[in-house]
């Protein structure tokens, strides 16, 4: 064991192993770079397309998040057009860069062994394996927060740290919880100088961007980014269900995390407090999604890696206990990671079976200027692949838009009647397709053209509307 520790605690050897971990990770994720299925990622990519074409979020279309998310998508769209492989590859690159900053932070705070274990635990967790090729934006939020943490911990440059943390919060507001917790940690430690520097850097950028969009778009920015989330009803999976699923799918990471009980907690206190703060936030939130957990995985990975390293060193003189711990953790890791990878290939990376059939039908039965509308998980997908526009510049038709009153369904129907919408695609009893008034609109103003039955994704109804 001492020989292994000496081998790992070497910069050259450490970087070689780090590279090998990345190669294995990329080889696992490669199939996901061309994977197609209905989902929210196409909503955000389509919004990026709108921004690239000169439309302004909040004023010209609804966006429930701060602006940096779709502006990053707009940049990619400007550079590459709609090439799904490039969008997914950039997301994968974001997670690889995140692992690099995890490595740098853990190496600086502890040693090369903890740095390597942190990267291994991060990239092998089920949620990271799943989200690394799904373009939902939480990866960018996580990367920017980690860069901010790096500048604070490694470089002692708290003003720059505040700037990157502001960028993180300008992608998704979830980051605010960790940012506030980090500033409070500094305040409690009595580090007033750095509290000032990080707060100034954060507020300078975060407030400036918010203020700029309030001037440009008015109240709609505040309503979309802030009030909408406060008004959303608590529907869908419960927090307990999300947490239970997370523990089952990331059992090794959770096991490693709870080993902190046997370690010197003071050395990892900053990571423990940040992780605990975020879990409290999730616990009291009305509705959460599993990908919200992405940003806390680096913290859990560092805690687990440090705890494992500490315990092995603690029992370094007792070979039986030491090798028993190593054997048990290795078995748990291999089993848990194997299950996660098998899940990717047996379910998550299975392509949308009806995709080509629906896409070809739309291409063969409409003109380029005809518009699409409908279900948020599928209408933007087919709009992008068929090069059709979405009516009313409304790729997001999340049912909560109507439940909160942000969008009036009757007003929407009036606008659709005066638009050039050719096809409306819905999923029965799901999303906008479950709204009674919209169902009545489809029955009176449109005609059911095709009913697609997909073995994995369920049913999709395609209506023809207009002329």
Residue 453's SS3 state is strand
The reply to whether 61 falls in a domain is no
How would residue 348 be classed by pLDDT, with cut points 50, 70 and 90? confident
For residue 340, what pLDDT is reported?
A: 87
Are residues 430 and 281 both part of a single domain?
A: no
| Domain of residue 137, residue span | 2-34+83-348
For residue 5, what pLDDT is reported?
A: 59
Bridge partners of 450? 462
Domain-terminating residue out of 323, 348, 373: 348
The overall average pLDDT reported for the chain is: 92
The reply to whether 417 falls in a domain is yes
Rounded to two decimals, the pTM is: 0.95
455: domain CATH number?
A: 3.40.190
Contact 236, 283 (CB under 8 A): no
**CA 163 from chain center: how many Å?**
21
Are residues 107 and 182 both part of a single domain?
A: yes
How would residue 288 be classed by pLDDT, with cut points 50, 70 and 90? confident
How many domains are contained in the chain? 2
Asked whether the predicted pLDDT for residue 4 surpasses 60, the reply is no
Are residues 167 and 308 both part of a single domain?
A: yes
Residue 57's SS3 state is strand
Separation CA 230–CA 436 (nearest Å): 25
Asked whether the predicted pLDDT for residue 341 surpasses 80, the reply is yes
Domain-terminating residue out of 332, 348, 364: 348
- Percent of the chain residues topping a pLDDT of 90: 74
Determine the average pLDDT of the residues in 161-187. 97
Is 283 buried (19+), middle (13-18) or exposed (0-12) by CB count in 10 A?
exposed
How would residue 392 be classed by pLDDT, with cut points 50, 70 and 90? very high
Determine the average pLDDT of the residues in 421-428. 95
How would residue 324 be classed by pLDDT, with cut points 50, 70 and 90? confident
How would residue 351 be classed by pLDDT, with cut points 50, 70 and 90? confident
For residue 316, what pLDDT is reported?
A: 72
pLDDT tens, residue by residue, 220-242: 999 999 999 888 876 655 788 88
Determine the average pLDDT of the residues in 277-305. 92
Are residues 295 and 403 both part of a single domain?
A: no
Asked whether the predicted pLDDT for residue 25 surpasses 90, the reply is yes
Contact 181, 273 (CB under 8 A): yes
For residue 2, what pLDDT is reported?
A: 54
For residue 287, what pLDDT is reported?
A: 81
For residue 10, what pLDDT is reported?
A: 72
Measured at the CA of 337, the angle between CA 28 and CA 247, to 5 degrees, comes to: 125
Asked whether the predicted pLDDT for residue 198 surpasses 60, the reply is yes
Bridge partners of 430? 427
Is 444 buried (19+), middle (13-18) or exposed (0-12) by CB count in 10 A?
exposed
The reply to whether 405 falls in a domain is yes
Q: Which of 262-266, 339-343, 423-427 has the highest mean pLDDT?
A: 423-427
Weakest-pLDDT range from 155-159, 264-268, 298-302, 385-389: 264-268
Q: What is the CA radius of gyration of the chain?
A: 24
Separation CA 162–CA 149 (nearest Å): 9
């Amino acid at each position: 064991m001492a020989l292994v520790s000496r081998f790992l605690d070497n910069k050259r050897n450490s970087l070689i192993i780090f590279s090998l971990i990345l190669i294995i990770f990329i080889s696992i994720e490669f199939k996901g770079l061309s994977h197609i299925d209905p989902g929210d990622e196409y909503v955000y990519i389509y919004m990026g397309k709108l921004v690239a074409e000169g439309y302004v979020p909040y004023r010209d279309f609804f966006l429930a998040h701060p602006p940096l998310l779709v502006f990053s998508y707009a940049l990619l769209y400007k550079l590459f057009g709609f090439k799904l492989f490039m969008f997914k590859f950039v997301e994968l690159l974001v997670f690889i860069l995140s692992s690099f900053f995890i490595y740098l932070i853990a190496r600086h705070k502890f040693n090369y062994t903890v740095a390597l274990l942190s990267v291994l635990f991060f990239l092998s967790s089920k949620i990271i394996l799943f989200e690394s090729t799904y373009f939902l934006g939480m990866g960018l939020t996580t990367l920017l927060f980690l860069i901010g943490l790096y500048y604070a911990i490694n470089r002692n440059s708290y003003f720059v740290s505040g700037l990157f943390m502001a960028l993180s919060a300008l992608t998704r507001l979830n980051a605010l919880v960790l940012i506030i917790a980090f500033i409070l940690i500094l305040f409690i430690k009595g580090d007033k100088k750095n509290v000032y520097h990080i707060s100034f850097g954060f507020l300078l950028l975060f407030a400036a961007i918010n203020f700029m969009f309030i001037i440009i778009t008015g109240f709609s920015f505040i309503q979309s980014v802030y009030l909408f989330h406060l008004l959303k009803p608590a529907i869908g999976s419960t927090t307990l269900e999300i947490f239970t699923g997370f523990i089952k799918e990331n059992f090794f990471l959770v096991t490693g995390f709870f080993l902190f009980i046997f370690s010197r907690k003071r050395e990892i206190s900053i990571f423990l407090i940040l992780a605990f703060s975020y879990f409290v936030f999730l616990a009291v939130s009305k509705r959460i999604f599993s990908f919200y957990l992405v940003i806390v995985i680096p913290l859990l990975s560092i805690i687990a890696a440090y705890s494992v390293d500490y315990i092995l060193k603690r029992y370094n003189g007792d070979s039986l206990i030491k090798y028993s711990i190593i054997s048990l953790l290795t078995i748990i890791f291999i089993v848990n990671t194997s299950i996660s990878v098998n899940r990717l290939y047996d379910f998550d990376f299975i392509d949308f079976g009806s995709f080509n059939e629906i896409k070809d039908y739309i291409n063969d039965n409409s003109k380029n200027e005809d518009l699409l509308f409908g279900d948020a998980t599928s209408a933007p997908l087919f709009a992008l692949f068929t090069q059709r526009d979405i009516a009313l510049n409304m790729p997001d038709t999340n049912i909560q838009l109507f439940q909160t009153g942000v969008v009036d369904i009757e007003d929407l129907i009036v606008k659709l009647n005066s638009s050039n919408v050719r096809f409306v695609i819905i999923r029965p009893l799901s999303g906008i397709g479950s709204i009674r008034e919209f169902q009545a609109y489809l029955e009176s103003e449109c005609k059911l053209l095709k009913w697609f039955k997909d073995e994995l994704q369920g049913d999709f109804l395609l209506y023809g509307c207009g002329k």
